[in-house]
Amino acid sequence: MQGDKNLKLIVVADINNLKLFTAQGLKIIGLLDSIIIASGVNHKNTKHDSLYQKKSAPGSCFEPHTSDKGIKYQESSHKISEHVHYIISANKDFKSLIVIADPKMLGYIRQNLSSAIKKKVIKEINKDLINHSIDEIEYAVFK
Exposure on the CB side of residue 10, measured as CA atoms within 13 A? 23
Q: What is the pLDDT of residue 3?
A: 45
The mean of the pLDDT values for the chain is 84
Structural domains in the chain, CATH included, are 3-39+60-142 (3.30.420.60)
Higher pLDDT, 15 or 46: 15
Q: What is the pLDDT of residues 88-117, one digit of tens each?
A: 999 989 999 999 999 999 999 999 999 999
pTM for the predicted model, two decimal places: 0.78
Kindly report the backbone phi and psi dihedral angles of residue 121, in degrees, each rounded to the nearest multiple of 5, phi listed first.
-70, 120
Q: What is the pLDDT of residue 15?
A: 93
Question: In the structure, what pLDDT confidence band is assigned to residue 69 with cuts at 50, 70 and 90?
Answer: confident
* Residue range 71-86: mean pLDDT, rounded: 94
Q: What is the pLDDT of residues 30-43, one digit of tens each?
A: 999 999 987 554 54
Q: What is the pLDDT of residues 109-119, one digit of tens each?
A: 999 999 999 99
